[in-house]
Amino acid sequence: MNAEPAMTPAPAPVTTPVIEARGLRKAYGGVVALDGVDFTVHPGRIVGLMGPNGAGKTTALKAILGLTDFEGELRVLGRDPRVERDRIMEEVCFIADVAVLPKWLKVRQALDYVQGVHPRFDRARAEAVLAKSDVRMGAKVGELSKGMVTQLHLALVMAIDARLLVLDEPTLGLDLLYRRSFYDALLNDYFDHQRTLLVTTHQVEEVEHLLTDLLLIRRGKIVLDAAVDDLPGRFVQLITTREQADAARRLGPLQEREVFGRIGMVFDGRNADELGAFGEVRTPSIPDLFVAVMQDGATHLRAASAKGAAA
């Protein structure tokens, strides 16, 4: 009796990246905004694109959304935004600072407008979200508080069945309560691990608990591209004394600062046990890592990103 042939495992499904940039470059006259940028955003991720003013964040978003030309290669949902912007925007939702809505616009008209321009907008869902808020359909944007404008934005966002949601400083000017409410609603009521979120913000501490991936950009270059889960295995923060600081300094920290007589240092690729001889060790928060990289450490980062090291 012949043995049955061994079953060949089915190949893993090929997942097209949501965003893939290779050698992305953009210059405004003599000013280079993006300098040969490479990065990939995979489906179902929440990615923080962060950097100081003038780092290139807005230019990168404009390229992704097809709002500016560029050099290099860029694919968004498998398409080139230079020539296929209309097709891309059928599956993309973009929300900027909530203060951009014109004050004369009525809430009902805002829904009318989005319904007319976005094929994936579900007006009934937007109305259901607003029905649970204090926002009246006949009110003008100028009559709403900042918190109510936030609720309106949320209703518009959550009613669009988009594969990619791009958020550019969406809570600028809002107080802590409304910022938290905005992000909590996005995470709990919108994100479903099928959609992908790309967020830019200066309020790093507001979104660090949301992120699955971190892209840090400085002077037009990506200086850190890492999965958040990989950060604790790569970066270590040491809190030490002045007496032990010189010895720890020989191990090459990315950055150091003094607070209340204690020295804080952030290291890339150093073993926590090795550093433990000099003081208290911990995993740096994303805001601490952001400051370390942007102030002093960008040129001292390991060549391989945390993603690359894990591959």
Residue 172 pLDDT > 90, yes or no?
A: no
- pLDDT computed for residue 107 by the predictor: 96
Q: For the sheet containing 235-240, what is the strand order?
A: 255-259, 262-268, 235-240, 279-282
For the domain spanning 16-91+199-227, the CATH number is: 3.40.50.300
- pLDDT computed for residue 11 by the predictor: 45
Of 88-92, 96-100, 147-151, the range with the lowest mean pLDDT is 96-100
- pLDDT computed for residue 179 by the predictor: 82
Higher per-residue confidence, 23 vs 156? 23
Residue 5 pLDDT > 90, yes or no?
A: no
pLDDT category at 88 given cuts 50, 70, 90 is very high
Quote the mean pLDDT of the chain. Answer: 87
DSSP H or E segment with residue 8: none
Residue 268 pLDDT > 60, yes or no?
A: yes
Domain residue extents for the chain: 16-91+199-227, 234-305
172-187: average pLDDT: 81
Encode pLDDT of 20-76 as tens digits. 999 999 999 889 999 999 999 999 999 999 999 889 999 999 999 999 999 999 999
Nearest to 195 by CA among 205, 204, 187, 203: 187
Classify 166 as helix, strand or coil. strand
Residue 310 pLDDT > 60, yes or no?
A: no
* Tokens 């978003």 -> residue: 61
Q: What is the DSSP string of 68-118?
A: S--EEEEEETTB-TTT-HHHHHTSEEEE--GGGS-TT-BHHHHHHHHHHH-
198-218: average pLDDT: 91
Measured over the CA atoms of residue 128, residue 134, residue 138 and residue 144, the dihedral's sign is negative
- pLDDT computed for residue 10 by the predictor: 47
86-100: average pLDDT: 82
Higher per-residue confidence, 60 vs 8? 60
Classify 58 as helix, strand or coil. helix
253-270: average pLDDT: 89
pLDDT category at 308 given cuts 50, 70, 90 is very low
> Tokens representing 276?
């433990």
pLDDT category at 143 given cuts 50, 70, 90 is very high
Residue 9 pLDDT > 70, yes or no?
A: no
Alpha helices in the chain (DSSP H): 57-64, 85-89, 107-117, 123-131, 146-158, 176-185, 204-207, 242-249, 272-275, 286-292, 306-310
Distances (CA, A) of 226 to 62, 126, 289: 22, 35, 12
- What percent of the chain clears pLDDT 70, i.e. is strictly above it? 89
- pLDDT computed for residue 86 by the predictor: 92
Strands (E), 254-305: 255-259, 262-268, 279-282
In angstroms, the CA 100 to CA 200 distance is 16
69-92: average pLDDT: 94
> Tokens representing 30?
């003599």
* C-beta of residue 121 within 8 angstroms of C-beta of residue 160: yes
In angstroms, the CA 118 to CA 158 distance is 13
